[in-house]
């Protein structure tokens, strides 16, 4: 209340100061219709002079036409009202300051104390206004509202569209019949999206209208649903100079990426200035390209904006508030004349300006030809252009009239005159009635207001064609409604559109084209971007412009804008991997069962016995279970299959239960102990698995982490529950591998250390690879199945296939001797009583102790006769390397045999001269004897016999063999045999002479070398060095040498030991070369003899056949058939003839009984005519 009184005092001061101005200024004129209730109106009767706040020339459309339609509307409405409505029209000159002055005049008249009005010619008291219509400019409307709301006077806008006026906290007494610029910004935004213009520039006028309109558009295009980007923005003053407008367009045109579409939230004057600047730049610079303009309703369809600039505006779009032309107004307007329109004080001025004439001319100007006198016969119908906002003026006046009418009927009821409440002019009450007004205008367009005093929006989209269509330059090509029949915003456009290049081809105004499906924008500069592809399991968050991962179990939809749940998938048995795994498991089961059957059939053979049959059968059972578990692993997961999968570890440990730690504890070597230990190990695994099941019961679930796009059904279990049972398996595997490695040099088949080692090595590799693949792959069941099958296959192939090969392919090797042999030496100790009794045809050696050597197998033996005719035999055999010949192996075999011929006694202690490698052999033989023969070590006597060399025995046997064969052939061939024997004996003599001579030469060289070494390197202790000759040093053992050198200097000890090794190696090499030459010469002689014998036998056979056919042709004699066999056998005879003979012992073993020697030689009778003559080779 205090604020209102202060304002009234200010107005009183302004009134005193402005009295003279009001009386002298023409702009303070008032067009008035008197009534009981008066309303005011502010129209821009005059234009504003550019760059100043003064009024210019008369404005026909905005001023004269609006004032005339307002007065016409009041007169028409008064016919409907129960009271008379008055109207006072004042000139705002499109200026905020002048509008404020005119508003103060309205308020001053309402509170004036004088009895006369302030307008010239008024002779009675003015009636205070109850509401004000206008002004047309938004900034002026705000200034007027700031004054009117102090006095609680409602204001109705017919042209102000700024969004600020919707704020009821600041402008509590304002409402309007035109939509807010917020809706105009929506219309422009829809238009940009319709043409896909995403890269635009925005220019706006300084002031409330332009700034608020730009803010509304910027807010709309900044929404996430909009893809329009404002690349350039600039604010320009309405009264700016032409140069400033040109600079704005030049700056816009010089952008790195030039926007083609320009939105101008400008008033009509600013829009015209931009067209003028574009015209100037286009003429000045030929490369300057015109823009595609979109103007706001400040331009609408005003002709004064594009006058003489039609070419620059062609193809542009403008927004106009939907306002159809008023029917009948043209006839009314054109019928007006200065003589009959006295209510409008500006009409005569308008007439003079319109027709460029004058009503009152001074006497001096009457004769002036340049001055035209108005006759009153001028026609307004020529070049008639109607203001598009006349319908809004009508609606604003009608809203006030209807509000007053409703208030009258509510407050005055049946009174024929105005009641007290109407006369009190309560603006707050009147404003409430105004907000509740609802009606349809003459164009059937609904008029109503929301709580902010704004009506619904309806805009016309105009396409300016200028010179192309003179009659209708503004072609209506579309419309926008904020609320259609469905309650939604709607833009309707036609196809008959012309663009800035005067064609119908749609121009582009984009910096970067929209990204495709599954792509996000990465901005590089303002409104420009690069499209980046999102990953296949990501969707595009348009709001944040980000690629976001779908949650586990979800996958992006087809548009990549959201995630949808993945349909679960079950394992298919038809996949290649599952089929291969099942085939491998089935083949493994069949092979394992077949192996089991073969072992059962040959259960008592040495091959099966050597593998510890009980453990082998346990292992085979575990292998079958290991193969069979693949079916549970690959089956569709369920609680049962998950349980079977988890308990399959027991099958794995059964499959790997092969003699794990038994080599360390000899006291547990019995079969029963091994089986018990095996089941104890399996029991521990069972306990571990049982505890794991009780703690973490397995169940079937979908593995969402397997593949981003798949849900795989699998058995769910914790990682630690899965790995803990493996620790026990790996402990046993590692322990077994360690002991298999440590026993790799034991006898070849002793506990099958070699095969167990290979099996463990491969098993470790398989399971390490399994753990890696299981943790890093999605097909865990398939990897697990292959790992089980491969692990079982490794054990089956390395542990059992070699035994199957011997049993099926080489049954002759399935003997006990083949499975108690080392790689280098084979030891036999046993009772030869049976052999001794059964060989009545043996040839016994004269001495008590015999010694034999086999050139074929490189073997030597010692036999001792015992009481009762029992012979205790010890033999050493060196198997010939695969692929070697007799001649190349003679040296190595003989050396090993010679080493053994320096025999030993193992009764109690080692003999002092025994070599270390021989001692190892003795220890191995003792362990074997203790296990297999229940006899004491005292019964095994190997007496030393260094005088008798194995080479002598070998040469004697071969000489006897050749002599007996020569005698047999000689008896058949007569004297030719003796001649052949003479020829055959010559190489032997030559070989012996060569060997003796060669030995003497090498010994002399060795003696000279020793003498030189002794002179060059004198020994620090001559007594010790001189006491040992080279021969003694070569023959002495290491222990004896250590005893002799005890207490001597270390350098001397090392020197003598090195010398000893050199002498021994030199002797070995010499003997090897000599024996090789000797053996080669013997073989050549034997071949020559045999070839001659075969030749003689063939000749004798041929003569015998001739004689039989000549003398006894009819006698049935089978002698020729009998003689056919040696002919086939004898030709040709190779040097391996003796070695390839079908002897009883083919395992490179001789028991050195006479029966074996007889079988090898098969001594022939002396005469082929003897009935016992049966040649056998």
Class of domain 576-808: mainly alpha
pLDDT > 60? residue 1039:
yes
Q: Which is more confident, 800 or 525? A: 800
Q: Report the C-alpha gap between 320 and 462 in whole angstroms.
A: 7
Whether omega before 526 lies within 30 degrees of 0, making that bond cis, reads: no
Residue 235 has pLDDT above 50, yes or no: yes
Vertex 544 angle, CA 542 and 550, to 5° = 75
Q: Over 50: is that where the pLDDT of 457 sits?
A: yes
pLDDT tops 70 at residue 973: no
Most confident of 408-412, 882-886, 1070-1074: 408-412
Length of the chain: 1177
What's the average model confidence in pLDDT over 128-140?
Answer: 92
In sequence order, the 6+-apart residues with CB closer than 8 A to the CB of 1100 are: 972, 973, 1168
Rounded to the nearest angstrom, the gap between the alpha carbon of residue 1011 and the centroid of all alpha carbons in its chain is 81
Average pLDDT over residues 1154-1164: 38
- The 10s digit of each residue's pLDDT in 322-355 is 888 899 999 999 999 888 898 999 999 999 999 9
* Range from 391-400, 462-471, 992-1001 carrying the lowest mean pLDDT: 992-1001
**Residue 1154: how many CB atoms within 10 A of its CB?**
16
Provide mean pLDDT across the span 146-162.
Answer: 93
Domain limits, CATH 1.20.1070, in the chain = 576-808
Q: How much is the pLDDT for 1017?
A: 45
CB 571 within 8 A of CB 781: yes
Report the C-alpha gap between 449 and 992 in whole angstroms: 142
- For residue range 981-1010, list pLDDT tens digits in order: 443 344 443 444 444 444 444 454 444 444
Q: In terms of Cα–Cα distance, which of 274, 261, 145 is closest to 511?
A: 261
Question: Is pLDDT at 200 greater than 80 in this prediction?
Answer: yes
Q: What is the pLDDT of residue 615?
A: 82
Question: What is the pLDDT at residue 191?
Answer: 95
Question: Cα–Cα distance between 403 and 413 in angstroms, integer?
Answer: 15
- Mean pLDDT across 104-113: 76
Q: Are 496 and 473 in contact (CB under 8 A)?
A: no
Question: From the centroid of its chain, how far is CA 230?
Answer: 38
Task: Name the most confidently modeled range: 118-122, 152-156, 381-385, 829-833.
Answer: 152-156
SS3 content of the chain, % helix, strand, coil (to 5): 50, 15, 35
Contact between 649 and 729 (Cβ < 8 Å): yes
Collapsing DSSP to helix, strand or coil, 178 comes out as coil
116 vs 110: CA distance, rounded Å: 12
The three-class DSSP label of residue 540 is strand
Residues in CB range of 359: below 8 A, 6 or more apart = 338, 348, 351, 352, 373, 374
Residues 132 and 139 sit within 8 Å (Cβ to Cβ): no
Give the pairing of strands 546-549 and 538-541: antiparallel
- Look at 389 and 1017; give whichever has higher pLDDT: 389
Would you say the C-alpha torsion 208, 209, 214, 219 has a positive or negative sign? Answer: positive
Please state, in angstroms and rounded to a whole number, the distance separating the CA atoms of residues 73 and 133. Answer: 13
572: Cα separation from own chain's centroid? 24
The string over 194-229, giving b where at least 16 C-beta atoms fall within 10 Å of a residue's C-beta and e elsewhere, is ebebbbbbbbbbbbbbbbbbbbbbeebbeeeeebbb
Return the pLDDT at 713.
Answer: 67
Q: What b-and-e string marks burial along 944-976, b requiring 16 or more CB atoms within 10 Å of the CB? A: eeeeebbbebbbebbeebbeebbbbbbbbbeeb
Task: Tell me the C-alpha distance between 936 and 586, whole Å.
Answer: 53
Q: Quick check: 1105 pLDDT over 60?
A: yes
Nearby residues of 749 by Cβ (< 8 Å), 6 or more positions away: 610, 819, 820, 821
**Which range is most confident: 506-510, 843-847, 864-868?**
506-510
């Amino acid at each position: 209340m205090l604020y209102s009184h202060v304002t009234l005092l200010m107005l009183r001061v302004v009134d005193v100061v402005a009295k003279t101005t009001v009386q002298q200024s023409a702009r303070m004129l008032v067009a008035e219709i008197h009534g009981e209730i008066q309303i005011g109106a502010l129209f821009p009767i005059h234009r504003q002079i550019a760059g100043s706040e003064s009024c210019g020339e008369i404005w026909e459309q905005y001023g004269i036409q609006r004032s005339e339609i307002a007065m016409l509307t009041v007169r028409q409405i008064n016919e409907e009202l129960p009271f008379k409505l008055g109207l006072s029209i004042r000139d705002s000159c499109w200026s905020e300051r002048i509008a404020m002055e005119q508003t103060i005049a309205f308020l001053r008249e309402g509170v004036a104390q004088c009895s006369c009005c302030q307008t010239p010619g008024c002779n009675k008291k003015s009636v205070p206004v109850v509401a004000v219509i206008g002004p047309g400019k938004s900034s002026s409307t705000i200034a007027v509202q700031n004054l009117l709301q102090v006095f609680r006077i409602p204001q109705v806008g017919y042209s102000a569209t700024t969004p600020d006026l919707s704020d009821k906290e600041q402008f509590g007494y304002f409402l309007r019949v035109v939509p807010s610029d917020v809706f105009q910004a929506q219309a422009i935004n829809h238009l940009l999206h319709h043409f896909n213009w995403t890269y635009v520039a925005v220019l706006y006028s300084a002031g409330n209208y332009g700034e608020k309109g730009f803010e509304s558009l910027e807010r709309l295009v900044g929404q996430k649903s909009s893809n329009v980007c404002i690349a350039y923005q600039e604010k320009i003053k309405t009264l700016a100079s032409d140069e400033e407008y040109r600079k704005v367009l030049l700056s816009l045109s010089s952008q790195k990426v030039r926007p083609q579409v320009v939105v101008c939230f400008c008033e009509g004057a600013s829009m015209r200035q931009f067209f003028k600047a574009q015209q100037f730049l286009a003429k000045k610079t030929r490369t300057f390209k015109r823009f595609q303009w979109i103007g706001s309703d400040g331009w609408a369809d005003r002709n004064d904006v594009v006058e003489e600039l039609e070419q620059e505006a062609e193809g542009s779009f403008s927004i106009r508030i939907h306002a159809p032309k008023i029917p009948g107004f043209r006839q009314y307007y054109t019928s007006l004349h200065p003589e009959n329109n006295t209510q409008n004080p500006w009409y005569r001025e308008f007439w003079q300006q319109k027709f460029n004439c004058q009503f009152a001319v001074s006497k001096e100007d009457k004769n002036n030809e340049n001055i035209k006198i108005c006759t009153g016969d001028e026609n307004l119908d020529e070049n008639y252009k109607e203001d598009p906002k006349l319908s809004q003026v009508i609606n604003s006046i009608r809203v006030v009239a209807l509000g007053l009418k409703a208030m009258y009927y509510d407050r005055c009821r049946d009174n024929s005159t105005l009641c007290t409440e109407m006369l009190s002019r309560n603006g707050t009450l009147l404003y409430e009635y105004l907000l509740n007004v609802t009606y349809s205008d003459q164009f059937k367009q609904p008029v109503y207001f929301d709580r902010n005093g704004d009506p619904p929006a309806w805009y016309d989209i105009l396409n300016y064609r200028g010179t192309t269509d003179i009659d209708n330059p503004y072609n209506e090509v579309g419309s926008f409604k904020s609320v259609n029949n469905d309650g939604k915003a709607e833009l309707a456009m036609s196809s008959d559109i012309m663009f800035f290049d005067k064609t119908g081809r749609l121009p582009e105004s984009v910096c970067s084209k929209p990204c495709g499906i599954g792509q996000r924008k990465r901005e590089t500069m303002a409104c420009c971007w690069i499209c980046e592809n999102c990953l296949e399991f990501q969707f595009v968050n348009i709001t944040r412009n980000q690629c976001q991962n779908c949650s586990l179990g979800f996958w992006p939809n087809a548009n990549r804008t959201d995630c949808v749940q993945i349909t679960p998938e079950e394992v298919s048995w038809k996949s290649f991997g599952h089929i291969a795994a099942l085939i491998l498991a089935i083949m493994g089961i069949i092979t394992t069962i077949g192996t089991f059957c073969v072992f059962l059939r040959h259960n008592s053979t040495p091959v099966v016995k050597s593998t510890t049959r009980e453990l082998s059968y346990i292992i085979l059972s575990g292998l079958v279970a290991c193969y069979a578990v693949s079916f549970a692993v690959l089956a569709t997961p369920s609680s049962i299959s998950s349980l079977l999968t988890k308990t399959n570890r027991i099958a794995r440990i059964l499959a790997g239960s092969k003699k794990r730690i038994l080599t360390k504890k000899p006291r547990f070597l019995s079969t029963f102990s091994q089986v018990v230990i095996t089941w104890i190990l399996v029991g521990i695994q069972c306990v571990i698995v049982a505890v794991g099941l009780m703690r973490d019961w397995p169940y079937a679930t979908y593995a969402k982490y397997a593949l981003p796009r798949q849900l795989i059904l699998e058995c769910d279990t914790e990682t630690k529950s899965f790995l803990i049972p493996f620790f026990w398996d790996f402990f046993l595997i590692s322990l077994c591998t360690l002991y298999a490695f440590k026993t790799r040099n034991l006898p070849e088949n002793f506990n099958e250390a070699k095969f167990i080692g290979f099996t463990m090595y491969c098993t470790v590799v398989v399971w390490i690879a399994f753990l890696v693949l299981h943790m890093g792959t999605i097909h865990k069941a398939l990897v697990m199945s292959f790992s089980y099958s491969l692990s079982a296959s490794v054990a089956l192939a390395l542990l059992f296939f070699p035994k199957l090969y011997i049993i099926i392919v080489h049954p002759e090797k399935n003997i006990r001797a083949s499975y108690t042999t080392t790689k280098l030496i084979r030891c036999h100790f046993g009772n030869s009583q049976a052999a001794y009794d059964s060989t009545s045809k043996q040839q016994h050696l004269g001495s008590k102790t015999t010694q034999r050597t086999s050139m074929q197998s490189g073997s030597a033996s010692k036999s001792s006769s015992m009481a009762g005719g029992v012979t205790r035999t010890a033999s050493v055999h060196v198997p010939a390397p695969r692929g070697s010949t007799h001649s190349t192996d003679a040296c190595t075999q003989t050396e090993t045999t010679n080493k053994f011929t320096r025999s030993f006694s193992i009764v109690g202690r080692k003999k002092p001269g025994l070599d270390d490698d021989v001692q190892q052999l003795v220890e191995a033989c003792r362990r074997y004897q203790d296990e297999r023969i229940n006899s004491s070590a005292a019964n095994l006597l190997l007496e030393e016999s260094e005088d008798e060399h194995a080479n002598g025995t070998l040469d004697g046997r071969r000489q006897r063999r050749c002599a007996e064969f020569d005698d047999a052939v000689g008896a058949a061939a007569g004297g030719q045999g003796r001649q052949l024997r003479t020829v055959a004996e010559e190489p032997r003599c030559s070989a012996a002479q060569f060997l003796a001579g060669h030995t003497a030469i090498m010994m002399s060289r060795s003696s000279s070398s020793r003498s030189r070494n002794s002179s060059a390197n004198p020994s620090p202790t001559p007594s010790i060095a001189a006491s040992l000759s080279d021969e003694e040093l070569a023959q002495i053992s290491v222990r004896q040498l250590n005893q002799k050198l005890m207490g001597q200097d270390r350098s001397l000890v090392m020197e003598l030991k090195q010398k000893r090794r050199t002498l021994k190696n030199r002797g070995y090499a010499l003997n090897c070369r000599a024996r090789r030459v000797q053996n080669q010469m013997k073989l050549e002689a034997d071949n020559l003899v045999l070839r001659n014998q075969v030749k003689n036998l063939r000749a004798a056979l041929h003569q015998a056949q001739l004689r039989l056919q000549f003398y006894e042709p009819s006698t049935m004699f089978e002698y020729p058939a009998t003689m056919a066999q040696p002919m086939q056998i004898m030709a040709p005879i190779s040097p391996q003839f003796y070695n390839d003979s079908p002897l009883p012992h083919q395992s490179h073993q001789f028991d050195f009984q006479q029966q074996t020697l007889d079988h090898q030689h098969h001594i022939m009778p002396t005469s082929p005519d003897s009935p016992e003559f049966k040649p056998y080779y």
